Amino acid sequence: MQPLTKTNLADTAIEAIRGEIFSKRWAVGEKLPNEATLCDMLSVSRGTIREAVRVLASQGLLETRQGSGTYVLSTTDTALPLTMARRAGLRDLFEARCALDVEAARLAAVRQTPATLATLRTLLEQRGNFEGGDKAAFIKRDLAFHQAVIAASGNRAMVEIYDFFSASITETIEATLGADIPEPDMQAHADIIEAIATGDPEQADAAVRRFMAPVINTLDRMILS
């Protein structure tokens, strides 16, 4: 293990020791080096090592035996099933959102007017690209654009359904602002508007599916990996 230099030494020590456990540096049942040795290995205090051991023990990875030492209890990443479940949950949300967005875009293409197209273009310009900074404000702008696509369908029930699931829709938008899931760019959004402008529901349908496909495909790969 390399000496630690980050500000939050306790958290970094936890990750360093957890990484060694998952890499099976120590077998299940094997005793960890004593506190003094771990302190030297990571260049941290005994208090930092104790905190790291306490957290890892609470996660079921280590076991502290009074008067004996600390032993490896498990080398399995217990957080992995939760991560997989979240990815699967996100995939389900994106699939449901895709179904709503596709049908809304189809209806919007049939019912489009110069006014609705102008509104969509204005909202897309206001949305811009996310370049860091206020994430909540960007999500709000992005959501406003997608809500306008739903409104352009002219179907009040779909608008109400979308509003009802706005928290879930917001979660899908936020998920694309991380490092793992691709965020549809401005062109992908603009393609939806232009497809609606054609008046052809099939083109609108295809534009939304192209918009969603990279995200859903990425989640599928992450779930299977």
**pLDDT, tens digit (0-9, with 9 covering 90-100), for 13-32:** 888 898 898 888 999 999 99
Q: CA 73 to CA 85: how far, in whole Å?
A: 24
At 149-196, the pLDDT tens digits run: 999 999 999 999 998 888 888 888 888 887 788 889 999 999 999 999
Q: Residue 21, by phi and psi: left (phi above 0), alpha (psi -120 to 50) or beta?
A: alpha
- Please give the residue that has the higher pLDDT: either 105 or 56: 105
In the prediction, which pLDDT does 225 show? Answer: 64
Question: What CA–CA distance (Å, rounded) separates 42 from 225?
Answer: 31
Rounded Cα distance, 130 and 173, in Å: 11
Task: Give the range among 38-47, 52-61, 79-88, 144-153 with minimum mean pLDDT.
Answer: 79-88
Residues of the chain with pLDDT > 90, as a percent, come to 50
Band of the pLDDT at 101, cuts 50, 70, 90?
A: very high
Convert the pLDDT of each residue in 119-145 to its tens digit. 999 999 999 988 878 888 999 999 999
Give the tens place of pLDDT for each residue, 83-96. 555 566 788 889 99
What is the pLDDT, as a whole number, of residue 7? 41
H/E element holding 145?
helix 135-152
Q: Is the pLDDT of residue 220 over 50?
A: yes
pLDDT score at 122:
98
Residue type (1 letter), 194: E
Does residue 29 or residue 224 have the better pLDDT? 29
> What's the rounded Cα separation, in Å, for the pair 107 and 200?
9
Q: Is residue 78's pLDDT more than 70?
A: no
Q: How many CA atoms lie within 13 A of 127 on its CB side?
A: 25
Give the pLDDT mean for 40-55. Answer: 90
Closest CA to 102 of 200, 194, 205: 205
**All domains of the chain, ordered by start, with CATH?**
9-72 (1.10.10.10), 80-224 (1.20.120.530)
Please list, residue by residue across 64-80, b when 16 or more beta carbons sit within 10 angstroms of its beta carbon and e when fewer do. eeeeeebbbbebeeeee
Question: 105 pLDDT exceeds 70?
Answer: yes
